[in-house]
Amino acid sequence: MPELKMRVNGQDVSVQVDPDEMLGYVLRDRLGLIGTKIGCGEGECGACTVLVDGRSVNSCIYPAMKAQGRDVLTIEGLKAGEDGQLHIIQQAFIDCAASQCGYCTPGMIMSAKALLDENPNPTRDEIETGISGNLCRCTGYYQIVEAIQLAARRLAAQRKEESHGG
Ligand code: FES
Ligand code: FES
């Protein structure tokens, strides 16, 4: 089996994978990172979204070997600080009650992260487009969009504080 070397959540990992194995299954089944969910397994629902070199991908259809030498970020890597506090986006999802059954939530949050990294001040339309590949059967999306707006405001405030040395 080929050897896949990549960085996952800031750690170098090396793992034997089947040549046709998809990244989402490697993360879950071989590395134990079960925060990434598999829903449809066909690239339709976004539950399996992770970031590869900062870009969101559907890990259920992303060949694991394509991640060779790349940086992969999963929901487990999305913490703020060493003490394991929740990331601002995660906290905003809690504060806006943007998660119900939670199955879509890791993927939604990773799509939100990719969006806000690229566009820190998105419009409502841009948020809707940013999460258009992520399906949620519970919330009706309203609270999810609110949560991403709240996260954008909090991240902007954090950047401002940091730039003032606070
Ligand atoms: S599980 Fe990957 S898109 Fe649905
Ligand atoms: S919270 Fe249940 S699918 Fe989104």
Residue spans per domain, the chain: 3-77, 79-163
| CA distances for 14 relative to 2, 7, 55, 65, 85, angstroms | 10, 9, 21, 11, 27
Task: Give the tens place of pLDDT for each residue, 69-95.
Answer: 999 999 999 976 667 789 999 999 999
Tokens of 86: 């929740």
Residue nearest to atom 3 of ligand 2 (CA): 136
Query: Tokens 């600080």 correspond to what residue?
Result: 81
Q: How far is the CA of 166 from the centre of ligand 2 (A)?
A: 37
Matching CATH topology for 3-77 and 79-163?
Answer: no
Kindly state the tokens that stand for 91.
Answer: 């906290």
Counting residues of the chain whose pLDDT is more than 70, the rounded percentage is: 98
User: Which one of the ligands is nearest to 58 CA?
Assistant: 1
Say yes or no: domain 79-163 is CATH 1.10.150.120. yes
CA-based R_g, the chain, Å: 16
Q: What is the pLDDT of residues 3-33, one digit of tens each?
A: 999 999 999 999 999 999 999 999 999 999 9
Minimum-distance ligand 1 atom for the alpha carbon of 49: 2
User: Which of 81, 93, 106 is closest to 151 using CA atoms?
Assistant: 93
- β-strands 11-16, 85-86 pairing: unpaired
The per-residue pLDDT for 81 is 63
43-64 pLDDT per residue, tens: 999 999 999 999 999 999 999 9
Ligand having the closest approach to the CA of 37: 1
What CATH architecture is 3-77?
A: Roll (3.10)
Question: pLDDT of 86-134, one tens digit each?
Answer: 999 999 999 999 999 999 999 999 999 999 999 999 999 999 999 999 9
Identify the CA nearest to 24 among candidates 1, 52, 2, 5. 52
The residues near 93 (Cβ < 8 Å, ≥ 6 apart) are 99, 105, 108, 109, 144, 147, 151
pLDDT for the residue numbered 82:
64
Q: Is the pLDDT of residue 166 over 80?
A: no
Q: What is d(CA 84, CA 89) in angstroms, rounded to the nearest whole number? A: 14
Q: Which amino acid is at 65?
A: M
